[in-house]
């Protein structure tokens, strides 16, 4: 028998069939992107398209294109603007709010959308069966605090909520369609925002197209948006630099300096005018990177020790070492928050740090014990931990052991207070100091430091009951002072929004919340300069 024998050919047939099938599948896996479509490399895959169940930034980007809230945040001014509600007001300093919905609003399937939809959606959000992560946002409604009358929604809280209209811009409070409320249809099928769901392939892409039933449909410029799932930041950067994606939400830290160089190069080569919006321009973002102390165990059950460690950190040096465009943080709340005048915070002060440690009883005869520092496996976190280790050794002579953990193990350890020092971060949801300060209330599930402080809780409670903005901010400032004095946490730096946005994208404004008004964007046709 030889190579050409029938038997041999028969043996190879299945193998060749597999190869043919595999190439036959190429068209099935392929979807072309229509021209004029904005392509976003959206980091991790979206967990859910249900606006009440989703959390996280990639989800936020997709859901803000699909679902409109009663209000929206203007990306340039950060002012709260009417969206589905044409008017909103509070007659009593924020205890109650009235939203008058626009007439003739429609869901993307053409059915009517009214105030009753909002009411029923918020009832769904509150229901334990929904298991909605943002359920607490409506926890202090009064009994019967939601009423609908003539397409007007009235909301009444037990304490004033002056920032409530701003919260209504977030997808968690956007109305969800009747089919999703009664469980008869899947999430994303019917929407209320400027776009509707064209198709989705898990871990590949979410393709959106303009919603013809959107109330402000005339003002939507993009025919569609494609959100690609691209988990690797380097891959996202490659897609952007080759013109395959127009927007990427973050860049690898390693690429920051060369992206700055690239901006200069673009201007030098006259590809972009010096006045036009830069493609890369890190701006403050409402988020803080900090470390948690486990305050239930020695040595960190002593506030002096915690403060000593925090004062021994040179944050300016840290930020410079990281070199990734993130400004140093002396406080928990970023000073970029509008109308906020926060306390001075933790300055680098090695003398005071050493004194505090001595006062706490640690000296050459009673050396400070070796402590463990937990962080989840990632390059940035390792760099920060190593910088802290070096600075503490130099300033206080303290030895630390770095301990990296897989993400879920890390979270579990933090939740169970099974750590001494643990890395953390917090992103603000809305433009009010309480979006940060509420985290460290004694009863907050996000506290995870074991720190319980009556004075802190009381100050937040006082602020909560105050309708006038000035005394309210005064209480909140005092609360942050108390937090920094007791130091259950050690702020290190604030995040910067490091998105890369193609100069072809018009109408884009960088802002503190990372809010994107998708309806206001449009994509210029590719120019020759771009192709160069």
Partner 1 sequence: MKRFLRRLLALTFVLFFVHAGTFFMVHSVRGGPFDSDRQLPPQVEKALLAEYHLDEPLLQQYAHAVSGVFHGDLGPSLRYRGTRVADVLAEAIPISITLGGGALFVALLLGIPAGLWAASRKNKSPDRFVLSVATLCMALPNFVLAGGLVALFSFSWSLLPPAGLGGFRHWLMPCFCLGLPFAAQVARILRTSALEVLETPAVLAARARGMDSETLLRRHVLRSALMPVVAFLGPASAGLLTGSLVIEQVFALPGLGAHFVQAAMNRDYTLALGATLLYTAVLGLFSLFTDFLLARLDPRMESLS
Q: Using CB under 8 A as the criterion, which residues of the chain lie in contact with partner 1 when the complex forms?
A: 1-3, 7-8, 10-11, 14-15, 18-19, 21-23, 25-26, 28-32, 41, 45, 47-48, 50, 53, 55, 128-133, 135-136, 186-187, 201-205, 228-232, 234-235, 238-239, 241-242, 244, 406-413, 415, 424-425, 445-446, 448
Cα separation of 286 and 497, whole Å?
9
Contact (CB, 8 A) for 291 and 426: no
We find the least distance from the C-beta atom of residue 409 to partner 1, in angstroms, to be 5
The number of helix segments (H) and strand segments (E) in the chain equals 16, 19
- CB-nearer residue toward partner 1: 55 or 316: 55
- CB-nearer residue toward partner 1: 201 or 455: 201
Token pair belonging to 310:
């925090």
Q: 120 Cβ partners below 8 Å, 6+ apart? A: 178, 181
Cα separation of 507 and 158, whole Å?
40
Closest CA to 68 of 58, 83, 50, 52: 83
We find the least distance from the C-beta atom of residue 34 to partner 1, in angstroms, to be 13
Cα separation of 279 and 266, whole Å?
10
Q: 532 Cβ partners below 8 Å, 6+ apart? A: 269, 271
Strands in 38-41's sheet, in edge-to-edge order, are: 195-201, 205-210, 224-228, 38-41, 247-248, 500-501
- CB-nearer residue toward partner 1: 188 or 342: 188
Cα separation of 447 and 488, whole Å?
9
**469 phi and psi, to 5 degrees?**
-65, -40
Cα 215 from chain centroid (whole Å): 27
We find the least distance from the C-beta atom of residue 475 to partner 1, in angstroms, to be 25
41-44, Cβ contacts within 8 angstroms, sequence gap of 24 or more: 41/228, 41/230, 41/235, 41/236, 41/239, 41/240, 41/245, 41/247, 41/248, 41/249, 42/206, 42/227, 42/228, 42/229, 42/230, 42/249, 43/229, 43/230, 43/231, 43/236, 43/249, 43/250, 44/229, 44/231
Per DSSP, the three-state class of 284 is strand
We find the least distance from the C-beta atom of residue 43 to partner 1, in angstroms, to be 11
Cα separation of 288 and 94, whole Å?
28
- CB-nearer residue toward partner 1: 442 or 446: 446
- CB-nearer residue toward partner 1: 26 or 454: 26
Counting Cα atoms < 13 Å in the Cβ hemisphere of 276 gives 16
Please give the helix or strand (H or E) that residue 303 lies within, else none.
helix 303-311
- CB-nearer residue toward partner 1: 77 or 186: 186
- CB-nearer residue toward partner 1: 343 or 428: 428
We find the least distance from the C-beta atom of residue 154 to partner 1, in angstroms, to be 25
Contact (CB, 8 A) for 317 and 386: no
- CB-nearer residue toward partner 1: 40 or 519: 40
Token pair belonging to 396:
């206080």
Contact (CB, 8 A) for 396 and 308: yes
- CB-nearer residue toward partner 1: 376 or 515: 376
We find the least distance from the C-beta atom of residue 171 to partner 1, in angstroms, to be 15
- CB-nearer residue toward partner 1: 13 or 76: 13
Token pair belonging to 462:
């006082």
We find the least distance from the C-beta atom of residue 230 to partner 1, in angstroms, to be 5
Please give the helix or strand (H or E) that residue 459 lies within, else none.
helix 454-465
- CB-nearer residue toward partner 1: 2 or 149: 2
- CB-nearer residue toward partner 1: 11 or 526: 11
- CB-nearer residue toward partner 1: 55 or 506: 55
We find the least distance from the C-beta atom of residue 358 to partner 1, in angstroms, to be 35
Q: 286 Cβ partners below 8 Å, 6+ apart? A: 334, 336, 337, 427, 428, 431, 435, 512, 513, 514
We find the least distance from the C-beta atom of residue 241 to partner 1, in angstroms, to be 7
Greatest Cα-to-Cα distance within the chain, rounded to the nearest angstrom: 96
Cα separation of 199 and 23, whole Å?
23
We find the least distance from the C-beta atom of residue 45 to partner 1, in angstroms, to be 8
We find the least distance from the C-beta atom of residue 96 to partner 1, in angstroms, to be 24
We find the least distance from the C-beta atom of residue 448 to partner 1, in angstroms, to be 7
We find the least distance from the C-beta atom of residue 181 to partner 1, in angstroms, to be 14
């Amino acid at each position: 028998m030889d190579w050409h024998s029938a038997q041999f050919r028969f043996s190879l047939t299945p193998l060749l069939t597999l190869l043919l099938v595999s190439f036959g599948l190429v068209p099935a896996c392929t979807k072309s992107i229509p021209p004029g479509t904005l392509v976003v490399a959206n980091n991790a895959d979206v967990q859910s398209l249900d606006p009440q169940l989703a959390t996280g930034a990639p989800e936020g980007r997709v859901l803000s294109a699909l679902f409109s809230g009663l209000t929206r945040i203007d990306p340039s001014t950060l002012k709260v603007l009417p969206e589905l509600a044409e008017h909103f007001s509070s007659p009593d300093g924020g205890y109650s709010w009235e939203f008058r919905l626009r007439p003739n609003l429609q869901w993307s399937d053409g059915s009517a959308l009214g105030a009753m939809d909002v009411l029923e959606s918020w009832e769904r959000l509150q229901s334990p069966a929904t298991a909605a992560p943002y359920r607490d946002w409506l926890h202090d409604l009064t009994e019967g605090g939601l009423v609908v009358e003539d397409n007007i929604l009235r909301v009444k809280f037990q304490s004033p909520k002056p920032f409530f209209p701003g919260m209504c811009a977030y997808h968690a409070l956007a109305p969800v369609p009747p089919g999703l409320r009664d469980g008869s249809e899947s999430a994303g099928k019917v929407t209320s925002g400027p776009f509707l769901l064209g198709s989705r392939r898990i871990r590949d892409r979410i393709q959106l197209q303009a919603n013809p039933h959107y109330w402000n449909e005339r003002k939507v410029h993009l025919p569609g948006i494609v959100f690609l799932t691209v988990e690797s930041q380097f891959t996202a950067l490659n897609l952007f630099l080759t013109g395959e994606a127009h927007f990427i939400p973050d860049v690898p830290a390693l690429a920051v300096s060369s992206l700055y160089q690239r901006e200069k190069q673009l201007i030098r080569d006259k590809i972009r005018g010096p006045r036009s919006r830069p493609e890369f321009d890190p701006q403050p973002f409402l988020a803080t990177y900090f470390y948690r102390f486990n305050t239930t165990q020695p040595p960190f059950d002593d506030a002096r020790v915690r403060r000593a460690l925090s004062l021994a950190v040179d944050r300016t040096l840290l930020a410079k070492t990281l070199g990734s465009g993130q400004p140093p943080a002396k406080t928990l709340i970023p000073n970029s928050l509008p109308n906020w005048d926060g306390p001075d915070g933790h300055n680098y002060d090695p003398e005071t740090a050493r004194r505090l440690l001595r006062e706490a009883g640690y000296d050459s005869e009673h050396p400070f014990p070796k402590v463990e520092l937990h962080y989840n496996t990632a390059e940035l976190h390792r760099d920060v931990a190593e910088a802290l280790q070096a600075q503490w050794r130099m300033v206080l002579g303290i030895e630390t052991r770095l301990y990296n953990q897989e993400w879920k193990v890390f979270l579990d350890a933090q939740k169970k207070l099974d750590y001494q020092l643990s890395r953390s971060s917090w992103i603000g949801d809305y433009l009010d100091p309480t979006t940060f300060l509420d985290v460290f209330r004694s009863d907050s599930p996000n506290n995870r430091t074991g720190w319980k402080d009556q004075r802190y809780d009381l100050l937040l409670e006082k602020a909560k009951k105050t309708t006038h903005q000035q005394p309210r901010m005064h209480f909140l400032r005092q609360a942050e002072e108390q937090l920094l004095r007791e130091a259950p946490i050690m702020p290190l730096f604030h995040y910067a929004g490091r998105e890369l946005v193609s100069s072809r994208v018009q109408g884009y404004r960088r802002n503190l919340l990372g809010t994107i008004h998708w309806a206001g964007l449009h994509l210029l046709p590719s120019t020759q300069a771009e192709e160069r």
